[in-house]
Amino acid sequence: MATEVVHTIAGLRAALAGQHRTAFVPTMGNLHEGHLSLVREARLRGGPVVASIFVNRLQFLPHEDFDRYPRTLARDVELLESAGCDLVFAPDEAELYPEPQAYKVQPPAALADILEGEFRPGFFTGVCTVVLKLFQCVQPAVAVFGQKDYQQLKVITAMARQFALPTEVVGAPTVRAEDGLALSSRNGYLGAAERTEAVALAAALRQLADGARDPGASLPALEQQAAEVLRARGWAPDYLTLRRRSDLLPPGEAERLGTEPLVALGAARLGATRLIDNLEC
């Protein structure tokens, strides 16, 4: 069946009337295999499968790539169709934000002002606000997000829990290129040499994860070494850090050396492109 595309909230609601098992994949478009894996995961968990395509101005800082973020709707719809998506919701800004969005969801600073939130202030307020609004439009039983955006998944899971949203939030594994680079829409900004170099971020996180439980190394030293490796290769790291998976705070020494589930998280700029990745350990 051909994938239907709707651009209005009214059209979306009409298309979904009477559905109770809708599975939802929110995206900003410019899709790649990682997004398609989310659609396939959604298919396993419910139906119809709805994907949204909306580049959300609220989650970009003024100097970031909102304007140049690729808008590739026709190609995206073809890809979504090939992955088994039933319905695409592609509103324009006037549809989703017909008036300035004065009501916003402010996630707790302890979770949202660290890591990505430290370097992109307000980012998670923008994300939570649009996700809550999209959930209101789609009314999904389940929504699938990539673990590549590890902190985003945590923030949205907690938002759904705290607001008792009737939507199960599910995380799906990061899809990687053959060399180990996590797939990301922003990889498209990389030149050929940068694309070859880009896998160094995953390698630095692997180095951090491998040293995570080493009693002979301190946590700050491990993190500094990982950042140094990238710096020496011409990157500008924002953070490379080892955190507890549960709340993304730094582990105590006993936790680090024990069995506390940890995650290595990193964000770094390569030329003009900022990449993020993570590795559970």
Smallest distance from ligand PAF to CB 258, Å: 32
Instruction: Name which position in 9, 22, 26, 36 contacts ligand PAF (CB under 6 A).
Output: 26
Instruction: Name which position in 149, 197, 223, 277 contacts ligand PAF (CB under 6 A).
Output: 149
Neighbours of 212 (CB within 10 A): 20
Q: Which residue has the tokens 């990193």?
A: 266
User: Does 278 sit near ligand PAF (CB under 6 A)?
Assistant: no
User: Does 76 sit near ligand PAF (CB under 6 A)?
Assistant: no
Nearer to ligand PAF, 60 or 235 (CB): 60
Smallest distance from ligand PAF to CB 175, Å: 14
User: Does 129 sit near ligand PAF (CB under 6 A)?
Assistant: no
- Residue 237 in tokens: 């790291």
Instruction: Name which position in 28, 202, 248, 263 contacts ligand PAF (CB under 6 A).
Output: 28
User: Does 41 sit near ligand PAF (CB under 6 A)?
Assistant: no
CB distance 123 to 151 below 8 Å? no
Residues 6+ apart with CB under 8 A from 269: 235, 236, 237, 238, 275
User: Does 38 sit near ligand PAF (CB under 6 A)?
Assistant: no
Instruction: Name which position in 12, 130, 205, 230 contacts ligand PAF (CB under 6 A).
Output: 130
Q: Is 20 a catalytic residue?
A: no
Smallest distance from ligand PAF to CB 56, Å: 4
CA pair distance 168, 184, nearest whole angstrom = 24
Nearer to ligand PAF, 145 or 239 (CB): 145
What's the alpha-carbon Rg for the chain, to the nearest Å? 19
CA pair distance 76, 78, nearest whole angstrom = 5
The residues with which 277 forms a beta bridge, in sequence order, are 266
CA pair distance 15, 156, nearest whole angstrom = 26
Please list the active-site residues: 35
